[in-house]
Each structure stands twice: as structure tokens, then as C-alpha cells.
Amino acid sequence: MQKLLITGGAGFIGSHCIQFFLKKYPHYHIVNLDKLTYAARISFALQERPNYHFVAGDVTNFLLVSELFQTFNFDGVIHFAAESHVDRSIVDPLLFMKTNVEGTGVLLHAAYRHWFQAPGQPQHPNHRFVYISTDEVYGALDAHHRPCIETDTLAPSNPYSASKAAGECLVQGYAHTYGLYTVITRSTNNYGPHQYPEKLIPMILENALQGQSIALHGDGSSIRDWLHVEDHCRAIDCVLHKGQSGQVYNIGANEARTNLEITSMICHMLDDLRPLSDRSYTSFIRFIADRIGQDRRYALDCRKIQATLGWVPCTTLQEGLEQLVRGQIGED
């Protein structure tokens, strides 16, 4: 891998991944294709480095994507670009279908045409296509269901997860039909610096520090596993370079907590580090109506990536949250 196309590289996970790869592989050349939506890290995207190139554009633009392949002759693709917020998918599902399904199809077909059909060129021998998916494609689990393994049937339950599952089907279809070297990852919830505050952990932290209500759906009992974004970047590195074609890899941290537990952890850290004079930060917690199609629990069995690729998470949830809280207080 010498030349990489990373789509959605101005987003939370994508931008961290680019930083990780630029630091670890200074000889790589990375092109970041991102349309700079509301959640983009624009200042990061527009940085200038000899081995980094930013292109403002939409992954659904087949002509643009094809021209990028012709210009840069990519060895690999890491496809992050996606609409990713469940609440927004409920309000505007067609946007998620266009970006997450059509965009994935465009990228796959442009890659296939360049790697297998480019005039006067042999088939590209070292190509890799990594599709970044989500644990939500498995659907909700009850309290006693075992964690999901990679061969379990997909059962998405909202427009976001359904669009990501559809993207996975396209990836698998291109691998089977055309011989693309593809790998799919399914990650649990990520957290870390520079995450857009519509997501749970930055929302909790921002609202608490501003003395505003911290709204939790239902009774706060929904369970999620929390993976630090830097651990996710290391996993993607393993998958890109060592993952087997046609395989799916679950990526998680085994740090499952209810939303109320996560909120309480952050509030108690703030009580210790920046105490209020008259109350605990937990007093800002408010419970609101459940959203439509709320999934109570996700859980992944991640033994496959650990056993076959040697990846394990390094940052505990306690350590990661403390770093995040201290960093936010320092910025204030």
C-alpha cells in the first residue's frame, strides 16, 4: 500500500485514521475525498502536507471518483464516507440511502474499472478495498443473547443501519462477481477527541460544562460498547494490511455500559476535576421519550480479529474518558 484513497476523511474517525497513517507511514500518499458536511473537521481537511491531498467532493459523483483513480492510481481504499447519525436517518432516510448505498456503489465500480479494466494496464495486483461498517447492522439484542459473530444474519432496524447493511451487500457482491479484494469491518461506538457533539459522549461533556440538560432517551438503559478511536485506527491498519479478502471483522473493546452509566461516569469525573459549588453534574440528567426504533443493546464477539490479526484494544474506557474530560477542561 503506497497510495490510499480515504473517503470521509474529514469526519471524526476518518480524520483520526489519516493522522494515524501519516504518522506511521510517512512514505504513503493519502487522498482525502470529503464533501465537508456539518460534522467535518474543516481545518484538518485543509491542512497542507507533501503526502496528503484533500479533494472536496461527493462520493456519489462517479466522474470525480473515476478521475481520482486515474490521477493517483490508488493501491487501496478505506471507505468511511457515510451519514451516520440514527436520529437524522429517521428524519431524512433518503439522504442516507443516497450517500451510504449509492456512494458505496459508485466507489466500488470506479475501483473495479480502474483495477481491472483500465486500457493498456494489467490487473492491479495489490489493490485493497476496506468498507467501514457498524455493529448496528446486526440489530438489537436482548439482555441474554450472546455477542454477535461475523457470520450472524444481519437484522438492521433503522434507516442508518439498513443503509450500511446494503452497502455491505454491494461490497460482497463486487468481491464475488469481479474478484475485488474487499474487507468489511463492523465497529462498536467510537469516542475520542474532536467528535461532533450530536454523539452521546461529546454531548454529555459539552452540556454538563455549559450547565445545560443532558437528555437521555427512555430510562438510559440502552447498552453500547465503547471503543477509543485510536484503537479503531490501529484495527483498520491491521485489516488493511493483513485482512483476508472477503472477510468481515468485528472491532470492539468489551467496554459495554448503559447510556446512564456512561453519563454518570463523565459527571463524576467532572465533579472531581471541576466541581460545582452547589450540586453534582448528575443533576443535569433528564430523561426524554425513546426515539423511534430504539435498539436496547448491541454486543460484538471480537475474537476473530484478535486471533487472526493480533489486534487488541489498548485504551480502557476509564482511561479514555479521563483523557477526554481533562482535554476538554484544558481547552476551556
Considering the chain, what is the average pLDDT of its residues? Answer: 95
- pLDDT attached to residue 85: 86
Q: What is the pLDDT of residues 45-74, one digit of tens each?
A: 999 899 999 999 999 999 999 999 999 999
pLDDT of residue 332: 59
pLDDT in the model for residue 140:
93
The pLDDT score that the predictor gives to residue 117 is: 83
pLDDT digits (tens, 9 = 90+) for 71-111: 999 999 999 999 988 889 999 999 999 999 999 999 999 99
160 noted as active-site residue: yes
State residue 292's pLDDT score: 76
Q: Kindly state the greatest CA–CA separation across the chain.
A: 74
| Under 8 Å between Cβ of 54 and 18 | no
For the domain made up of 3-192+226-254+295-314, give the CATH fold: Rossmann fold (3.40.50)
> What confidence tens digit (pLDDT) does each residue in 239-272 have?
999 999 999 999 999 999 999 999 999 999 999 9
Give the pLDDT of residue 1: 61
Does the annotation count 135 as an active-site position?
Answer: yes
| One-letter identity of residue 288 | I
Half-sphere exposure of 244 (CA within 13 A, CB side): 7
Distance CA 292, CA 62 (A): 34
Q: Is the four-CA dihedral 258, 289, 322, 47 of positive or negative sign?
A: positive
Residue 260 one-letter amino acid:
L
Task: Please give the sequence-ordered ranges of beta strands (E in DSSP) within the chain, or none if there are none.
Answer: 3-7, 29-34, 52-56, 76-79, 128-134, 182-187, 189-191, 214-217, 223-228, 247-251, 256-258, 285-288
Q: Is the pLDDT of residue 125 over 70?
A: no
Q: Lowest-confidence range among 168-172, 293-297, 311-315?
A: 293-297
Phi-psi region of 122 (alpha: psi -120 to 50; beta: other; left: phi over 0): beta
Query: What is the dihedral sign for C-alpha 269, 275, 276, 277?
Result: positive
Q: What is the pLDDT of residue 124?
A: 64
- The single residue of 135, 150, 168, 225 carrying the catalytic annotation is 135
Quick check: 168 pLDDT over 80?
Answer: yes
Tell if the pTM clears 0.75, that is, is over it: yes
Annotation says 136 is catalytic: yes
Catalytic residue among 52, 131, 160, 298: 160
Q: What does the buried/exposed string (b/e) look like for 90-114 if buried means 16 or more CB atoms within 10 Å of the residue's CB?
A: eeebeebbbbbbbbbbbbbbbbbbb
Given a cut of 70, is residue 119 above it in pLDDT? no
Query: Angle CA(73)–CA(3)–CA(114) in degrees, nearest 5?
Result: 25
Choice among 83, 136, 168, 230 that is catalytic? 136
Closest listed residue to residue 193, CA positions, set 150, 230, 139, 248: 230
pLDDT at 126: 79
* Beta-carbon contacts of residue 212 (< 8 Å; ≥ 6 apart): 284
Domain ranges of the chain: 3-192+226-254+295-314
Determine the pLDDT at residue 204: 98
- Tell me the β-bridge partners of 186: 133, 250
